[in-house]
Structure formats: structure tokens, C-alpha cells
Amino acid sequence: MEAKDSNKDFTFSIEGKEYTISEKNNTGENNTTENSKKQILHAPSLTIGAIISGICIAVIVFGIGDLAESSSPLIEKQLSEEPVKPVQITMGTFFENGSPILGNSNAEITLIEFGDYQCHFCNVYYQNTEHEILEKYVMTGKVNVIFKDYTIIGQDSLRAAHAAHCASEQGKFWEYHDTLYNNWGGENNGWAGSENILRFAEEVGLNMNEFVECNVDKRYEQQIAASNTDAQKLGITGTPAFYVISANSQQVQTISGAQPYEVFEKVFNSMLEN
């Protein structure tokens, strides 16, 4: 950058371009002609020039090497701070890609559970809470239930989920669902492996040829993957996760984890009263 002062004019150049800051005057055509060859900056341009000059000084003082070294963290920070694109949540996010409805399809309330058959707390909920909900709200027609897969623990989670959907082809999704939880044995230890999956099907009374063919064909892999995507859209980070939805008001209330029966009872009654 080069600068000079002449007749109250301040002239500087950056990268071969010459800029002049001058006071307005009426000294004649010669000055006008001479100044017309130069780019005149007033207050806004002065600010821009100062910024550009500051950048040039920063490069000189800190060196190009330092700027290059800091480029990576700057990029990482920029990427991490990019605004998250909004995710569209619809009623389909809750109701699609799940199990057959358990209970009265016209019930005032739907209880949706996102679960993993290997999940410890899903089993706790099934053993300690679900049966009372079924007895007092589902069998009386007030609430219906949909189970959606969120297979986050391991390969046997996917295997068990797929087997339940294959049982659904023979009208026995919920029987198979219950059999899985009644035989729950932990996480990734083989209780939901291939051999037991077949044994559970026999216990439920399924046509084994049809059941095996369904699993070999992997007919429900895409549906399970879509249900997993629904869970991610909703921001679910663990199982079980519940959504209580009012058919009348479309109100949605969340319940996280294996909460006791009284928590569900309070939410159900509040919605039924309204």
C-alpha cells in the first residue's frame, strides 16, 4: 500500500488501484479533470478502506503461515455452527411405519411407543406398567397402542423387530411382541438370535414356512429403517419413548423412559377430561 498527501488530498493504492479522499471544492475544471482520473472515496468508502488496510496489516504482522494453520479449526467451527435445517414433523411421523393398532381404532387417545426389544427399560415398562394400561384403558376402548421400532442396541434388535413384523402377516404381531419381552435376557447375548427367533414363532403357533420365508426375504427392513428415521426426526435419544396423542385436539404429550403407571394414568385422564 502506498500513500501521499497533496493539496489536502489523501491518496493511497491497494493492489494497483488508486484511491483518493478529498474535500469537495469548486477550484475549477482542471481539478475536476484531474480528480476524475482517480476514484474518490467519502465516509462509507473510508470505512471499507480501513477494513482492507487492517486485513493487509494483519497479514504482514501475523504472517501467511499462521493464517494457514488456523484455517482448519475455522472451517470446523463454521460447519458446526451452520443452522440445522428444520425437520418437518407430521402425524405420519407418529402413526406410520409401526405395528398394527392394539385396541379400539376409534379410541380418543393413541399411545405410541418407540422401543427396542433388547432394551432393559423397555422390558421394565412391559413387565411393570403396560399390563395395567391395557386392562384399564385399552380393553375399555379409551386408548389404543402402536409400537414403533427404534433398533439402537444391536443386530439382534433388528432381528427381533423383523420377526415381529413377519408374525404380523399371520395376525400375531402382539402375541410375538409379548413373547419377545417374556423371554428378554439382556443386550447382545444371543437370546434374540436366529434359533430363538424360530422357537418363539413355534410357541406363538405361526406357520413356520411362511415365517421363515418372510425373514429370508427381509420384507420389513425398509419399514424398520423408516421407523428409526421417524425416531431420529423426533429427537429420540433412548428407549422407551412414548407419545400420547389426543384424536380430538391433536395434542401430543411426551413421556420418556419406563415411568410408573401413575404417570400414564395422569396424562390419559387429563386428555379424556378435555
Domain ranges of the chain: 2-80, 91-273
Mean pLDDT estimate for the chain: 80
- Identify which of 93, 102, 229, 211 has the alpha carbon closest to the alpha carbon of residue 162: 211
Class of domain 91-273: alpha beta
For range 96-119, the mean pLDDT: 98
Q: Give 146-156 pLDDT, tens digit per residue.
A: 999 999 999 99
Mean pLDDT of 20-39: 44
Task: Give the residue-averaged pLDDT of 209-231.
Answer: 98
Instruction: Give the least confident one: 86-95, 114-123, 134-143.
Output: 86-95
Q: Is the pLDDT of residue 46 over 50?
A: no
Residue type, 248: N
pLDDT in tens, 50-81: 444 444 433 333 333 333 333 334 334 334 34
Please give the helix or strand (H or E) that residue 113 lies within, else none.
Answer: strand 109-115
Q: Is residue 115 helix, strand or coil?
A: strand
Q: Which of 254, 263, 260 is nearest to 93 (CA)?
A: 254
Angle (CA) 56-59-62 rounded to 5° is 140
Q: Can you tell me the mean pLDDT for 206-224?
A: 98
For residue 274, what pLDDT is reported? 81
Q: What is the pTM of this model?
A: 0.69
Report which of residues 2 and 230 the model is more confident about: 230
